[in-house]
Amino acid sequence: MGVEVNKRNLAKEITPEERISIHYNKLKEKLKINFQKEIFCKIEAMKVLKEIKDKEYYKLDNYASFDDFAKDYRLARTQTYKYLKIATAIEEGIVEEKYVINNGINNTMFLIRNKEGVSIKKSKQNPLRPLRFQLKCPDAYAFYKRNAKLTSFLLEKVFLDEQEFLSKIINQFDSIKKGKK
């Protein structure tokens, strides 16, 4: 029994514009796949870097610090610490890997900053800003500059405990100020 296949071409003729559109869509799909592969590799690198830093494996190769290890692998310091911060956030459950894949590293860092506060690493410095003012007397300037902590203590003490004295000084200042006008 011989079966004969009818060789019909059911494909519609494609216009050049449609070919370009199809090709463009394929390129976009390839780009998405490559970016996802890239981000998966970066996430894996984040985990590896975190483990090496946390368990101090870099010392096995006689590196003095983790920074020295990272430099040897041509990783920028900011990039390395971004990766470590994201890996820590993933480990602590602040961010999911899926979020990093969909939104990228910069958006993830922005999210982490918002969740943890303005800065990622808390500053060890005093959060109060320095007070700046000018003194006309050079001797007074030299004294207060040499004794900055004493100056700070003195100003706080007068403000907190010597309100009467402060009021008296403010009144003197106001009268001098009015006299100059």
**Residues 82 and 64: beta-carbon distance below 8 Å:** no
7 pLDDT more than 70: no
Structure confidence at residue 41 (pLDDT): 87
Domain ranges of the chain: 21-116, 138-180
- Higher-scoring residue by pLDDT: 175, 7: 175
pLDDT tens digits along 65-88: 999 888 888 888 898 999 999 999
pLDDT tens digits along 85-104: 999 999 988 889 899 988 88
Structure confidence at residue 109 (pLDDT): 92
pLDDT tens digits along 122-172: 445 555 667 777 888 999 888 988 988 888 888 889 989 999 999 999 999
Supply 93's token pair: 């459950």
4 pLDDT more than 80: no
- Higher-scoring residue by pLDDT: 134, 8: 134
Structure confidence at residue 177 (pLDDT): 86
Q: Which of 90, 91, 67 is nearest to 80 (CA)?
A: 67
Structure confidence at residue 124 (pLDDT): 53
Q: What is the pTM of this model?
A: 0.49
Measure the CA–CA gap between 159 and 167, rounded to whole angstroms: 10
Structure confidence at residue 13 (pLDDT): 79
Structure confidence at residue 139 (pLDDT): 92
Measure the CA–CA gap between 77 and 87, rounded to whole angstroms: 15
Supply 128's token pair: 């109060």
Averaged confidence pLDDT in the chain? 83
Measure the CA–CA gap between 55 and 45, rounded to whole angstroms: 15
